Amino acid sequence: MKRIQILLILAAVLGSVSCVFGQMRTPRHLTQKTTVSGGIKRTYYVFKPAGVSKSKKLPVVMVFHGGGGTALRMERWLKFTDLARREKFIAVYPDGIGNNWNDGRDTQVNRAHKDKIDDLSFVSKLLDEVTLDYPVDKDRIYATGPSNGGIFSHFIAAQMADRIAAIAPVIGGIADPFHKRFEPSDPVSVFIIQGTEDKLVPYKGGEIGRNRGRVISTDETIRIWTNHNKTDSKAVEGNLADSDKNDGCRVETFTWRNGKNGTEVVLYKLIGGGHTWPGGSQYAPRFIVGRVCRDFDATEAVWQFFKDHPKNRDSRSST
């Protein structure tokens, strides 16, 4: 009976990592946009910082919610808007169909996968519209998100590599079986944040929850991206300061440098970290999602990585 109860809780968490925030109205600082993709009405939200010259081109950060989440809940939880206001970039928060993204997994649990929703076309159209409506730096288009949003970040980077400069998947690896057709057209910088004690999206790969598809291991994900980007074969290793001695987590860092067009692949390996956003909330009990790493703020770290990794980084740095 206890095992059944745990499985039910796991299903609830996997179905909605952000349900704690409840229903929300569109805040004034966001602009709600709608478009039609694949015959389906789609929604996304845009934040554009004030006080920017009309002639200045701005980076775009797409933030993809986790499974069961929504754009507005992610906007509130991850606080990219606060950072966008300060750092002057455009933040975009899309909504998945049925609160999920079709990220390359083989599963029939949610509508996005079952109906084979073409989220790739949606993202492409979204970027077309945002680029038309706002002053976008086309060499600084980025994607991030937790869990399903992280898996989806890998998915779109591999298939839209000509448009995406860098991605930062958090607690989400490359989907199985999608990895078998992984053929990006361009190099893409990648910043992976993954906990070793993530029971929902395992560090070593495997099944996600119950019948929610599979991901390959973090190490294999790194190998695929470093091979594609043609980075150095050996990583530069380090550690973040263990600033919170009570969080049960420490961070080992690995950086594969000198990839094509200045790309890099970076791993923050959270020793003891769970299925959580570092620096974020303990949104579910530890025995379900594991520990939150408090040694750094993932939102700040993701933006710093993006800021340092435009597309064609080598040519831009030499001008």
In this predicted model, what pLDDT tens digit does every residue of 136-188 receive, in sequence order? Answer: 999 999 999 999 999 999 999 999 999 999 999 999 999 999 999 999 999 99
CB-based contacts of 104, cutoff 8 Å, min separation 6: 151, 154, 155, 174, 175, 177, 178, 179
pLDDT digits (tens, 9 = 90+) for 14-46: 444 444 444 568 899 999 999 999 999 999 999
Residue 315 confidence (pLDDT): 65
Q: What is the dihedral of CA 128, 131, 134, 137, to 10 degrees?
A: 160
Q: Is the dihedral of CA 158, 164, 166, 171 positive or negative?
A: negative
Residue 3 confidence (pLDDT): 43
In the chain, where the domains are located: 2-317
Residue 233 confidence (pLDDT): 97
Residue 313 confidence (pLDDT): 79
Is the bond into 169 cis (omega within 30 degrees of 0)?
Answer: no
Distance CA 276, CA 253 (A): 18
Averages of pLDDT over runs of 10 residues in the chain (319 residues) are 41 44 76 98 97 92 97 96 98 98 95 97 98 97 98 98 98 97 97 97 93 96 98 98 97 98 98 98 94 98 98 68
Q: Torsion-angle region of residue 8: left (phi > 0), alpha (psi -120 to 50) or beta?
A: alpha
Q: State the fold for domain 2-317.
A: Rossmann fold (3.40.50)
pTM of the model: 0.93
Residue 89 confidence (pLDDT): 98
